[in-house]
């Protein structure tokens, strides 16, 4: 089992919500952004992105909307909803607590 992949899988929703909250974005940009921000650590499996986005949309955490670009191309931009922001805030708080607790165990002198 790839531990890094499992961690990414368990935190996919938080990462997607965070990026969409930061700015309304579309599928391909999300993949690039995740890769760039994590310095290539997060290699998101592209095919799993869209089911995850649709799951968040079905849960009314984000909302997808087709937008026409100036070059005539259409893209489906995702925007975070109020419910999505609330869920993200809870997930981030849980993650901070978890991260602090882990650090306290593995780097006791740093806390």
Residues near other proteins (CB under 8 A) are 26-28, 45-48, 50-51, 54-55, 58, 66, 73-76
For the bound state, the minimum distance from the C-beta of residue 101 to other proteins, rounded and expressed in Å, comes to 32
Q: Enter the DSSP assignment of 69.
A: -
Closest to other proteins by CB, 74 vs 111, is 74
Taking the complex as a whole, the smallest distance from the CB of residue 43 to other proteins amounts, in Å, to 10
Please say which residue, 76 or 90, places its beta carbon nearer to other proteins.
76
Cβ-Cβ contacts under 8 Å for 92 (sequence gap 6 or more): 14, 18
Q: Cβ 31 to other proteins, closest distance in Å?
A: 8
User: Which lies closer to other proteins via its Cβ, residue 28 or residue 95?
Assistant: 28
Residue in this structure with the two tokens 């650090």, named with its chain if needed: 103
- Tokens found for residue 33: 């952004």
- Contact (CB, 8 A) for 24 and 79: yes
């Amino acid at each position: 089992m790839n531990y890094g992949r499992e961690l990414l899988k368990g935190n996919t929703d938080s990462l997607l919500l965070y990026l969409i909250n930061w700015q309304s974005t579309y599928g391909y940009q999300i993949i690039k952004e995740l890769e760039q921000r994590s310095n290539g650590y997060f290699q998101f499996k592209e095919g799993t992105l869209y089911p995850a986005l649709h799951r968040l949309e079905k849960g009314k955490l984000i909302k997808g909307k087709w937008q026409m670009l100036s070059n005539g191309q259409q893209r489906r931009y995702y925007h975070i909803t109020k419910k999505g922001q609330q869920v993200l805030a809870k997930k981030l708080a849980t993650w901070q607590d978890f991260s602090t607790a882990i650090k306290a165990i593995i780097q006791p002198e740093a806390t």
